[in-house]
Amino acid sequence: MTLVEPPVARPYRKFLPAELAVQYLDAAGELTESEARYPRPADDRLVEMYRNMVLGRRFDQQATALTKQGRLAVYPSSRGQEACQIAAAMSLHPGDWMFPTYRDSVALAARGIDPVQILSMLAGDWHCGYDPAAHRSAPQCTPLATQLLHATGVAYGEHRKGNDTVALAFCGDGATSEGDFHEALNFAAVFKAPVVFLVQNNGFAISVPLARQSAAPSLAHKGVGYGIGSEQVDGNDPVAMLAVMDEAARFVRAGNGPVIVEAHTYRIDAHTNADDATRYRDSSEVEQWLGRDPLARLEKYLRGKGLLDDAAADALTADAEVAAAELRADMNVDRVGDPMDLFRYVFAEPTPQLREQQAQVQAELAAESEEN
């Protein structure tokens, strides 16, 4: 008879999901009376966050307008989710890695990447308009949840090298229904890969509501089953988002293994400019979430503490308008592409079939040139 050893007692983990989402500011921007689970961010960091959010929202608005002008094929707006994305970007060190989804353009902008390069993929120029290695930011990922495995692999590799590197992986609530999500969490848990998984739960996987995706009390609780740090936070509360993301990054960097953070937020605009959100949600629901606007909440808080006045707010608005005008001008410049790039970056050593296709295109271009 083989005796089964009892499970080893595990130490209490600091990151266990709060019964209610962590919140510091109520919908009106006033401090709540609930007990703080994590240190409140310093005032200067909250002022920096407000600046990033103002610039990020204007960038998002301008990108949405560019789709109507034919300069972008498609754009997935992140209006209403700015606090999630900015807090995530600000929690990272320069040497850390970010793994964004197609909806995380504002986070990339907060990392200092040129907005024109961010939008390049959506304009049809390249699969990734920026240098991932230079910015320590992976290409924006369209397939759901695949970037979570990439983040886990990079984090584990950096850990094996002895580097002090954290990987932060974004995903939405829809991605938690994918197998890659569970595989990434399980691998990261077993091998203690230094990853922060940020789930922006905006209520819908395109048109499928969360209630049709999961029966768990929260998506953060999925991390408990894998034995990793887990937390849920009001994603429209900028103070809470920055507090939780800062602490999650510190916790992971200290060698405690991965953390999953669920941010309860809302996608104000449609899934993309090609989507009709009125077919699956009521306008009253959108209006309710507009009353929890993260930018307005942080502005109210900063003004109440004397950290923001009309002059500073007006100056920041002016800076955002200048940035938007520069983006419009740069995106209105037609790009001249080299057709041979279709073949140049497919394989290190082109296959015979690829060489044949390249020769065919070259012949067609030469014939067209002679006709003109």
The band of 334, judged by pLDDT with boundaries at 50, 70 and 90, is confident
Sign of the dihedral defined by the CA atoms of residues 75, 80, 86, 88, in that order:
negative
| Sheet strand arrangement including 97-99 | 97-99, 167-172, 195-201, 259-264, 229-234
- For residue 370, the model assigns a pLDDT of 84
- For residue 163, the model assigns a pLDDT of 95
Residue 165, pLDDT above cutoff 50: yes
Closest by CA position to 72, among listed 85, 57, 62: 62
- For residue 210, the model assigns a pLDDT of 86
Out of 264, 271, 292, 297, which one is annotated catalytic?
271
**Which stretches of the chain are DSSP H helices?**
43-68, 82-90, 105-110, 115-119, 132-135, 146-160, 179-190, 222-225, 238-251, 283-290, 294-304, 310-331, 341-344, 352-371
CA atoms lying within 13 Å on the CB side of residue 143: 9
- For residue 9, the model assigns a pLDDT of 40
Radius of gyration of the chain (CA): 22
Q: Which residues contact 315 (CB under 8 A, 6 or more apart)?
A: none
- For residue 308, give both structure tokens: 């923001």
- For residue range 68-77, list pLDDT tens digits in order: 999 999 999 9
Closest by CA position to 223, among listed 172, 188, 264, 193: 188
Higher-confidence residue of 214 and 265: namely 265
State how far the Cα of 67 lies from the Cα of 62, in Å rounded to an integer: 9
Quote the pTM value: 0.91
Closest by CA position to 75, among listed 34, 124, 27: 124
Contact, 96 vs 165, CB < 8 A? yes
Contact, 146 vs 180, CB < 8 A? yes
Residue 11, pLDDT above cutoff 70: no
> Is 280 an active-site residue?
yes
Out of 250, 280, 281, 328, which one is annotated catalytic?
280
Q: What is the mean pLDDT of the chain?
A: 92
> Is 159 an active-site residue?
no
Contact, 202 vs 174, CB < 8 A? no
- For residue range 177-191, list pLDDT tens digits in order: 999 999 999 999 999
- For residue 221, the model assigns a pLDDT of 92
The band of 83, judged by pLDDT with boundaries at 50, 70 and 90, is very high
Out of 57, 111, 264, 267, which one is annotated catalytic?
267
> 């950096």: which residue's tokens?
158
The CA–CA distances, whole Å, from 125 to 99, 103, 216 equal: 20, 18, 41
- For residue range 219-246, list pLDDT tens digits in order: 999 999 999 999 999 999 999 999 999 9
Hey, is 342 helix, strand or coil?
A: helix
DSSP 259-298: EEEEEE----S-SSTT--GGGTS-HHHHHHHHTT-HHHHH
> Is 267 an active-site residue?
yes
